[in-house]
Structure formats: structure tokens, C-alpha cells
Amino acid sequence: MNLSAAPIVPVDGHAAPRAAEPWYAPSGDEVTIFEQCHARQLAVMLKGPTGCGKTRFVEHMAWRLGRPLVTVSCHDDMTASDLLGRFLIDHDGTRWSDGPLTRAVREGALCYLDEVVEARQDTIVVLHPLTDHRRILPLDKTGETLDAAPGFQLVVSYNPGYQRMLKDLKPSTRQRFVALDFDFPPTEQEVRIVMHESGADHATAHALVSLGQKLRGLQDRGLAEVPSTRLLIATARLIASGIGVRSACNAALIAPLSDDAALVGAMRDLVDLTFI
């Protein structure tokens, strides 16, 4: 879980400096649509492959809107109490401790549930009252019903290609969100992103993006997850630090994708063809 304060907060009568803007390169009208959803109190769902920029987009939008951001990485052991909160026992007795969702509702923050489909269905249903006209969060354990503070917005993300074979959101949940589709950027934009995030030169970034596109073509040959822009950036950072191209590609690009000997061999052949 991550809580970052995007707005300027007074400290001892002085304004604290605002955090630096998280860099994000738009690929369409997603920024405008998100801004309008926030203004109209609409929940947003981000759909797209792993490492294509969904999390960075949310960080950028929280900064742009001047709202705190609460990020929760969902998993299949996460319970409703992990989101809402629980009673804790300490030396003073029993006290209630807000969970990340409850804190976001009270503070008017953006609450980002990453890979929400990983969470159990009985956990996801607690989101429903926050995604319609009610904008409330019932806390059965304390007897409270919280009205979402102004500025609160619920944002979720998931990877449709990977999740479809395992689990998916129920239609009754999906229809509570405005959905934004994300994908890997066009070639020149992805080159620009790799250069900006890694410090690599244009030639290296362009070659890595070209390699990434070739590797993505191996999905039909059993590659469960295709290389993300994030992996290309990690590889470029190693190369920019002085690590050899093939060593960097093996460590940061090929090894994370597969342990299958045939697939690894095919990917290494593509590296050799790209960096002659």
C-alpha cells in the first residue's frame, strides 16, 4: 500500500513544496476523460497489459488534480477488513484503525486498487456503495456510514488478457465503472518513454522497442506475458549503466518472461538479430 500526498499541505503556517509531477506521455484522450470522471464523481476502471503505464497514469492524474493518492495492490488473500479497517489491541485497550479505502474516503483521496480482480468477490462487493449515486462506505464493525469526502474517487485496474482465463469481474461490478483501455504505446512514443525513464540514447531505446515488439509476437508460441514497457526501461537502465547489451537483455528482459528452454532460446535469437 502506498499513500502519497499530492496537494500542498500547510506545515507550521508555511506551504510545503508540492511533489514533482510524475511524468506521463498521453496516448489519447485519457487525461481529459479521467478529469471529467473526477469532476462528475464517476469511478474509473483501467484495462490493459502489465507494465503499460496504468499506475503511472494514476499517479500523474492524482498530481494533476491535486489529490492524495492511496494505492492498494490486491491479492487473493485480501479481505474486506484489509480495505476497511479493524479493531486493534494495544496498551491503552481496543482501538479502531482505518484501512486504506476508509482513509481515502475520509480524506477525499484517489483510491487506486491495482489488479482488483485478484481480490476475493466478497471483498469487491464493499466497493459497490461507493460507485453509484450514494457514494457511501458502511462500516459494520463501528456502526458508521461514511459519506465520501469531496475529491474522493475510486480507480481500479486489471489485465484482461491475463485474467480472462483465470477470473474476471462480475458484470454487476464492471458496469459501475467508466473503462479506459490501455495498451503498449506506438513505436516512437514508446521509444520516447524508454529514453526519458532510463537515460538511454535514441538508438538503444529504438532497438529495445523493436526487440520488444518482436518478443510480443511470441505470445502465440506459449509466452504467458509479453514484455512490458517497464521491462524495456529496466533493460535500458542496465545498458545505460554500462552493462553489456546481451547481458542486460538476458537479465532484465528474457529471464523474467520465461524459464522454458525453447522460448528462452528463441528470445535470445531475437536479441542477436536485433543487436548485430
Per-residue confidence at 17, pLDDT binned at 50, 70, 90? low
CB of 7 closer than 8 Å to CB of 66: yes
Cα–chain center distance at 175? 20
Residue 250, CA atoms < 13 Å, CB-side half-sphere: 10
Class of domain 2-181: alpha beta
Give the chain's mean pLDDT. Answer: 90
The model carries a pTM of: 0.87
Listed by start position, the domains of the chain span: 2-181, 187-274
The predicted-structure confidence for 162-180, as pLDDT tens digits, reads as follows 555 557 788 889 999 999 9
Among 9-13, 142-146, 245-249, the minimum mean pLDDT is found in 9-13
